């Protein structure tokens, strides 16, 4: 079986600055240039990317071969592609905060800082709030 995956990414800020890998929200969201505005672009090199099956990233099978473990591995492979192997900062909001935390757990020696907002832990109660309870308001 042949599987093709193309990850869209862009870098914003200081090319020689502290590296920040930014996970977007979703699932199914996409990276936006405005996500980089949370960082100090004079001092940081922000890497934005569209996760597998989202935004401008392309995959031949976004249903069967799209899970959290693969999203984390894709992020690591992107860093390898860019030649980044020193400790970096990792950030994200909402679903992106979940992925940032999971990335830090999987690759603790690669992460020196976490920038998290609108933290979403994907627990049962979080899912119930998102899918049912928030509709009450």
Quickly tell me which residue has 């980089």 as its tokens: 36
Q: What's the pLDDT at 50?
A: 93
Selected residue with higher pLDDT from 64 and 121 = 121
Q: CA angle, 102 as apex, 10 and 97 as ends, to 5°?
A: 60
Residues 6+ apart with CB under 8 A from 44: 13, 14, 17, 18, 19, 20, 89
Q: What is the mean pLDDT of the chain?
A: 89
First to last CA, the chain: 47
pLDDT band at 66 (very low <50, low <70, confident <90, very high): confident
Handedness of CA 66, 120, 102, 116 (dihedral sign): positive
d(CA 128, CA 8): 31
Tens of pLDDT, residues 28-59? 789 999 999 999 999 999 999 999 888 898 87
Compute the residue count for the chain.
Answer: 137
- pTM score: 0.85
d(CA 105, CA 120): 16
């Amino acid at each position: 079986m042949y599987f093709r995956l193309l990850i869209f990414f862009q870098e914003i800020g200081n090319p020689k600055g502290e590296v920040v890998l930014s996970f977007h929200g979703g699932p199914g969201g996409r990276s936006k240039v405005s996500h980089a505005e949370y960082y100090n672009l004079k001092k940081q090199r922000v890497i934005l990317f569209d996760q597998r099956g989202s935004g401008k990233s392309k995959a031949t099978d976004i249903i069967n071969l799209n899970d959290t473990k693969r999203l984390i591995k894709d992020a690591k492979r992107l860093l390898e592609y860019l030649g980044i192997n020193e400790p970096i900062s990792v950030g994200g909001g909402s679903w992106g905060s979940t992925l940032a935390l999971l990335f830090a757990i999987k690759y603790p020696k690669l992460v020196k800082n976490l920038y998290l907002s609108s933290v979403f832990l994907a627990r049962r109660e979080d899912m119930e709030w998102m899918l049912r309870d928030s509709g009450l308001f």
